[in-house]
């Protein structure tokens, strides 16, 4: 007789045998459905049937993801927009007949013209600031009895006495070529040391290559930020420069933020030579007309100063030097700063002429009067123009 455990085992086995066919039929897929799945999925055939690789679902982009096309305007072709803006800054000195700076003027008193067209002044202020200046001093051996060399040393020394602790100054001498005796420094003693190295009769050459030295100095100053000044102490003669006067004038005209203040040397000697008939001795034998040579030198120096908004001085006596350099110091430290955006926005590299006038409330030339009611004559000093930026493609 079977035990209870054996009966239970027999019963379970019978149930499994009865259910096996239906279970197998549910697990094994039909050949037709596998074929359809393989065709739809595009999968390869494997050992056990098709391998289904589901296709990537292609969804249409949402409306918000598609950028809208710009609408075309009738009659307007394809164009590109370029924005160019150039700010022109001016340092303007307003001086009395005696060279004294006149303070207290307002923005409304200044009228600026560019190539004859009025410009709107966008910023304005009165400034008193440290200076950045290069002393460019002629120092060559010549037959002038050292008079020009001594004048150069005196001028450089007296200018150094006007310096303040925050000023940046460089000392450059020139004969055949420029010599940097002291690079930009705030050390006044270093500048005095450079001046003391200039000793009459110790120059390297008898040539006075003014144009080369001036162009070289302007090139060096191009890398210095802000407003700069050249204190040019020279006779104005040029004997052997590689550059011509025309090239020098163009370089000066194209200088940026640099004013040239000229102090002519040897004026007492030249005046004495003219009145005593030995001008011939002041020039080499190859010079046809020595008086004409010095007259042309003065004209060149005046042009350098005028083009850049500087001034030209020709002292006859040593007693004038302190007054001259006090005037230069006051002028370059106290100025009106103006800025405007030119109405001519073309970037064509052309030279634009600038004129600055003072006007009253009704647009008439401004008249100034002293405490006694007497009209005060004045002069407006600014650069004559600038070169527009060239177009960069």
Residue 64 has pLDDT above 60, yes or no: no
pLDDT above 70 covers a percentage of the chain that reads 75
Q: Report the number of secondary-structure helices (H) and strands (E) in the chain.
A: 9, 18
CA distance 239 to 217: 18
CA distance 190 to 173: 15
Token pair belonging to 116: 């004859």
Token pair belonging to 253: 């005209």
pLDDT above 90 covers a percentage of the chain that reads 46
The 10s digit of each residue's pLDDT in 283-312 is 777 677 888 889 999 999 999 999 998 999
Nearest to 169 by CA among 4, 342, 325, 381: 325
Q: Please compute Rg for the chain using Cα positions.
A: 43
**Domains in the chain, ordered, with CATH?**
88-127+336-387 (no CATH), 129-334 (3.40.50.410)
So what's the pLDDT on residue 265?
92
Residue 78 has pLDDT above 80, yes or no: no
β partners of residue 112 = 119, 356
**C-beta of residue 225 within 8 angstroms of C-beta of residue 195:** no
The DSSP result for 320-364, as a single string, is GHHHHHHHHHHHHHEEEEEEE--S----B--EEEEEEEEB-TTSS
The 10s digit of each residue's pLDDT in 115-125 is 999 999 999 99
Pairing of strands 375-376, 368-369: antiparallel
Residues 6+ apart with CB under 8 A from 6: none
- Does the pTM surpass 0.75? The reply is no
Token pair belonging to 266: 């040897």
| Average pLDDT of the segment spanning 99-104 | 84
Q: Quick one: how far is CA 197 from the chain centroid?
A: 33
CA distance 350 to 250: 12
């Amino acid at each position: 007789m079977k035990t209870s455990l054996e009966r239970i085992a027999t019963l379970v086995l019978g149930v499994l045998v009865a259910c096996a066919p239906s279970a197998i039929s549910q697990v094994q897929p039909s050949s037709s459905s596998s074929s359809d799945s393989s065709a739809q999925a595009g999968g390869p055939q494997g050992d056990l049937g098709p391998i289904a690789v589901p296709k990537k679902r292609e969804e249409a982009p949402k409306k918000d993801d598609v950028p809208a096309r710009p609408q075309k305007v009738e009659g307007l072709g394809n164009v590109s927009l370029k924005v160019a803006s150039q700010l022109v800054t001016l340092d303007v000195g307003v001086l009395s007949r005696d060279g004294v700076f006149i303070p207290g003027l307002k923005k409304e008193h200044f009228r600026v013209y560019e190539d004859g067209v009025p410009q709107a002044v966008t910023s304005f202020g009165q400034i008193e600031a440290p200076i950045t200046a290069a002393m460019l001093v002629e120092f060559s051996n010549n037959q002038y009895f050292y008079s020009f060399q001594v004048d150069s040393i005196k001028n450089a020394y007296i200018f150094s006495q006007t310096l303040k602790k925050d000023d940046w100054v460089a000392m450059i001498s020139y004969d055949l070529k420029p010599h940097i005796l002291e690079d930009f420094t705030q050390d006044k003693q270093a500048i005095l040391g450079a001046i003391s190295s200039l000793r009459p009769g110790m120059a390297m050459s008898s040539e006075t290559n003014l144009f080369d030295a001036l162009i070289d100095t302007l090139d060096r100053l191009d890398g210095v930020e802000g407003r700069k000044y050249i204190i040019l102490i020279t006779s104005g003669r040029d004997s052997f420069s590689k550059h011509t006067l025309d090239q020098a004038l163009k370089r000066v005209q194209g200088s940026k933020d640099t004013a040239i203040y000229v102090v002519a040397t040897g004026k007492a000697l030249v005046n004495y030579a003219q009145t005593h008939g030995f001008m011939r001795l002041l020039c080499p034998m190859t010079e046809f007309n020595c008086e004409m040579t010095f007259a042309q030198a003065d004209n060149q120096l005046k042009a350098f100063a005028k083009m850049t908004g500087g001034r030209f001085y020709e002292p006859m006596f040593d007693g004038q030097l302190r007054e001259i350099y006090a005037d230069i110091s006051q002028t370059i430290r106290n100025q009106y700063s103006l800025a405007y955006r030119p109405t001519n926005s073309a970037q064509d590299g052309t030279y634009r002429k600038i004129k600055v006038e003072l006007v009253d409330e009704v647009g008439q030339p401004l008249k100034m009067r002293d405490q006694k009611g007497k009209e005060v004559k004045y002069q407006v000093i600014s650069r004559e123009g600038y070169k527009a930026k060239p177009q960069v493609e």
